[in-house]
Amino acid sequence: MEEFVDKQKIEAFSPDIVIIATGSELAMPQIPGIKDVNCFSFKEALKGEVKIEREKVVVLGGGLIGLETALFLASLGNDVTILKRYETISENIDPIYAQHLLSRLQELGVKIISKVTIMEIEQNQVLIENHNKEPNRIYFDKIVLARELVPSNKLAKEIDAREVYLIGDSLKPRRIFNAVFEGFMIGRQI
């Protein structure tokens, strides 16, 4: 059973010190038309909250989250295309894992289009421009957002305590080991 902590529950303890590890959330990109189409977050797709099978899927975001989400969706029989803003792929991923991940994506036929700007999203197509400003259209049944995570730290701004520390993604979206290390260091400090 999940129990959520809010300002009232924290302040009922009258804490001197509070450590916030509330994670991150997906920012809705400012792309014309995105609110008018079948658009889901990578979390909804990975948790199975939305059924995506044997469809044309566009994944917006080619970082680790986007690549792993695309792998999952492709394993369900979907025709997956990743749209990535930058040329680099797997830059912040362990090299051995990156090689395996990219190999699996290739085996499953996932297309990766990098260095693109998303201009607009219409009914069933994403209008993009490549680095040469050449337009193109990518057709889809569903879009999955897997980019632009922002800290979920609203609670930290609401509470009244002598000391408040942010760790993990609530400070800056990164990897799990960053949160563990920061938690350890804050624990030693206090």
Structure letter (DSSP) for residue 39: E
30, 119 Cβ separation under 8 angstroms:
no
pLDDT reported for residue 169: 92
pLDDT tens, position by position, 144-189: 999 878 899 888 888 878 899 999 999 998 888 889 999 999 999 9
- The pLDDT of 99-121, averaged and rounded, is 94
143 pLDDT above the threshold of 80: yes
The dihedral through the CA atoms of 11, 12, 14, 18 has a sign that is negative
- The pLDDT of 4-24, averaged and rounded, is 88
pLDDT tens, position by position, 21-47: 988 888 888 899 998 888 999 999 999
166, 24 Cβ separation under 8 angstroms:
no
Distance CA 173, CA 146 (A): 13
Distances from the Cα of 28 to the Cα of 39, 59, 111, angstroms? 10, 14, 23
- State the DSSP string of 132-150: T--EEEEE-SEEEE---EE
Distance CA 173, CA 28 (A): 15
Distance CA 168, CA 24 (A): 9
pTM: 0.82
Task: Mark residue 113 as left, alpha or beta (left: phi above 0; alpha: psi -120 to 50; beta: remaining).
Answer: beta
The label of the residue with tokens 């059973």 reads: 1
- The pLDDT of 105-134, averaged and rounded, is 92
In this prediction, residue 1 has a pLDDT band, given cuts at 50, 70 and 90, of low
Q: Where are the domains of the chain?
A: 7-24+150-189, 28-147
Of residues 4 and 171, the one with the higher pLDDT is 171
pLDDT reported for residue 35: 86
pLDDT reported for residue 2: 65
94 pLDDT above the threshold of 80: yes
- The pLDDT of 83-107, averaged and rounded, is 85
CATH architecture of 28-147: 3-Layer(bba) Sandwich (3.50)
Quick one: what percent of the chain has pLDDT higher than 90? 53
Distance CA 74, CA 59 (A): 11
In this prediction, residue 141 has a pLDDT band, given cuts at 50, 70 and 90, of very high
Count of other CB atoms within 10 angstroms of residue 106 = 11
Distance CA 91, CA 80 (A): 21
